[in-house]
Structure 1
Amino acid sequence: MGFLVMFIVALVISAIGFRKFVWFISLGYGFSIAGIGVALLAMFAAQLTPVTAIMAVLLVIYGCRLGGYLLIREHRSASYQATMKNEIKDGSSTPFLVKILVWAACALLYACETSPVLFRLSNNATTDVVAVVGAVIMAVGIVLESVADATKNRFKQQHPKRFCDVGVFRLVRCPNYLGEVLTWTGVFVSGWTAMHGIWQWLAAVAGWACIVWIMFGGARRLEIRQTKNYDDNPEYRAYASHTPILIPFVPLYSVARFKWLVG
């Protein structure tokens, strides 16, 4: 029942994608996660532990920050609008049935991503080390993603024609995507000792695996765009050849050849 509620919350909020197709996966994503966090706080108010309460609140913070950031960027950044116009279909030619399927698939994904928190609450699992570690990883991911977005935003205001290679961008070339991966890895880890049965595990694994795949796809899309824009710059080539694309300290510098990645 709780999973159905989360799915319905995500359906209602992500329905803004019918106004603008990309909002299914941008604004609809962020605000759906925030809405799910609020729903968890309301549904399990009497059963919340400090850790599960923190995780539900972190979902709200994560969703509001991401949704708000994307909303501001979309309205203020002409370069972002131009980039998205070239890279993402506006949905004007997408059949309505396809939009329905995308809407439902997105809502299901958002419910699956957040399901480990639900399962810890609905299964009345006790607070353990795994739950605490998961919450910490989640918090670190949210902080990293926030810092990465703020760093790039400030840098681009001062250097609109240059690639960003300062701060956390010295660690990996896509630290915002790394923050996203850490956030959902933390959520997934938090449910390891709480989930019961094949269906709960399938939902949690599917949510985590899909978002990681999407983030690697986003890194691939960014790499292709940056190569197109900066490949004639020796500084960029040196930066790209020595800074991992997504995972720190792992010598994976390019994913452009992996056409099966979608993000």
Structure 2
Amino acid sequence: PVYALCIAAAFLIQWIAFIPAWLNRTEKFYDLTGGITYITVTLLALLLTPGTDARSLLLAGIVIVWAVRLASFLFLRIRNAGEDRRFRDIKQSFGRFLLTWSLQGLWVSFSLAAALAAITSTLRLDLDLFAAIGFLVWLAGFAIEVIADRQKSAFNAKAENKGRFISTGLWSWSRHPNYFGEIVLWIGVAIIALPVLRGWQWITLISPIFIIILLTRISGIPMLEKRADQKWGNEAEYQSYKAGTSMLVPLPPKK
């Protein structure tokens, strides 16, 4: 019941936030609402589950740290940019805009699935090797995502880089290092959750798989690759960068 309540809350928050967003035709609080949803749902799971243990607190802690960092980063980015181009046409259509907010509820539900199942699980186990390995994997992914985001922000902040693509730092080893970090950190969350999952809860391990499929096959990378090809596809420098740089997993650039 607690798990189901948390999923319902994830969607309810989106639909409530959608009302002022639609009335004002704005997407500026979309990512911020996503972060607030992660935090609210995680805290709800903690508060409604009796006998909170160290594993639950660890999972809640790393999810909240990640959510605060990413939501604030994305909110400040859109505030500085003035708009999120993805929403330019979508926000004019009630149905499409509502669907986009509903999909954020789905994104939260799927990505948080393993963590929520572990936090609300009746099985309690002391922190173990899974917790240690999972935390280190999460930490590595989180660090990669933060560094990649900061490097790109610093690059874009320089006037001489206007209209150019980044190919330095982590971006010289991967065309999408931030997404690689995102995938890795959710794998870490699933590893921490693993030992206390039982029965139907095993299904929640689809969480990192869902994120991998979404970022590499549906939105995320395909969308950005298409935009990059439209913008720099005719430039020899970009073609060389694309041919010599791994799409996702950071690897030494090809000569």
TM-score by length of 1: 0.80
Structure 2 unaligned blocks of 5 or more: none
Q: How far apart, CA to CA, are the structure 2 residues paired with 1:95 and 1:85?
A: 13
Q: Does 1:62 align with 2:71?
A: no
How many pairs does the alignment contain? 242
Match for residue 193 of structure 1 among 181, 192, 195: 195
Q: Per the alignment, do residues 135 and 23 of structure 1 end up closer, same or farther by CA in structure 2, a change over 3 Å counting? A: farther
Q: Deviations over 1:47-104 (max 9, x none)?
A: 221x4423211111111111111211111114xx363345x622x32438x83x6655
2:52 is aligned to 47
How much has 1:201 moved relative to structure 2?
1.7
Q: Does 1:38 align with 2:39?
A: no
Q: How far apart, CA to CA, are the structure 2 residues paired with 1:24 and 1:194?
A: 35
Q: How far apart, CA to CA, are the structure 2 residues paired with 1:95 and 1:120?
A: 35
**Quick one: which amino acid aligns to residue 34 of structure 1?**
I
1:165 is aligned to 167
How much has 1:240 moved relative to structure 2?
0.7
Q: Per the alignment, do residues 84 and 111 of structure 1 end up closer, same or farther by CA in structure 2, a change over 3 Å counting? A: closer
1:144 is aligned to 144
1:209 is aligned to 209
Q: Per the alignment, do residues 108 and 229 of structure 1 end up closer, same or farther by CA in structure 2, a change over 3 Å counting? A: closer
Contact 1:37 1:56 in 2 (8 A): yes
Paired residue secondary structure (2:194): coil
Q: How far apart, CA to CA, are the structure 2 residues paired with 1:164 and 1:127?
A: 41
Paired residue secondary structure (2:195): coil
**Quick one: which amino acid aligns to residue 183 of structure 1?**
L
**Quick one: which amino acid aligns to residue 67 of structure 1?**
A
Contact 1:34 1:62 in 2 (8 A): no
Q: How far apart, CA to CA, are the structure 1 residues paired with 2:175 and 2:84?
A: 22
Q: How far apart, CA to CA, are the structure 2 residues paired with 1:76 and 1:105?
A: 25
Contact 1:125 1:194 in 2 (8 A): yes
Q: How far apart, CA to CA, are the structure 2 residues paired with 1:226 and 1:174?
A: 12
Match for residue 75 of structure 1 among 59, 62, 79: 79
Paired residue secondary structure (1:181): helix
Q: How far apart, CA to CA, are the structure 2 residues paired with 1:191 and 1:113?
A: 13
TM-score by length of 2: 0.82
How much has 1:160 moved relative to structure 2?
1.7
Structure 1 unaligned blocks of 5 or more: 252-263
Q: How far apart, CA to CA, are the structure 1 residues paired with 2:29 and 2:198?
A: 30
1:176 is aligned to 178
Contact 2:110 2:210 in 1 (8 A): no
| Structure 1 segments (4+ residues) deviating >6 Å | none
Q: Calculate the aligned-residue CA RMSD, in Å.
A: 2.8
Taking CA–CA contacts closer than 8 Å with sequence separation of 6 or more, which of the two structures ends up with the larger relative contact order? 2
2:109 is aligned to 111
Q: How far apart, CA to CA, are the structure 2 residues paired with 1:180 and 1:221?
A: 17
Q: Per the alignment, do residues 28 and 231 of structure 1 end up closer, same or farther by CA in structure 2, a change over 3 Å counting? A: same
Q: Per the alignment, do residues 45 and 135 of structure 1 end up closer, same or farther by CA in structure 2, a change over 3 Å counting? A: farther
Contact 2:3 2:45 in 1 (8 A): no
Contact 1:113 1:184 in 2 (8 A): yes
Q: Does 1:154 align with 2:154?
A: yes
Contact 2:170 2:250 in 1 (8 A): no
Paired residue secondary structure (1:95): helix
Paired residue secondary structure (2:8): helix
Q: How far apart, CA to CA, are the structure 2 residues paired with 1:189 and 1:58?
A: 13
- The more displaced of 53-62 and 38-47 is 38-47
**Quick one: which amino acid aligns to residue 109 of structure 2?**
A
Q: How far apart, CA to CA, are the structure 2 residues paired with 1:142 and 1:42?
A: 26
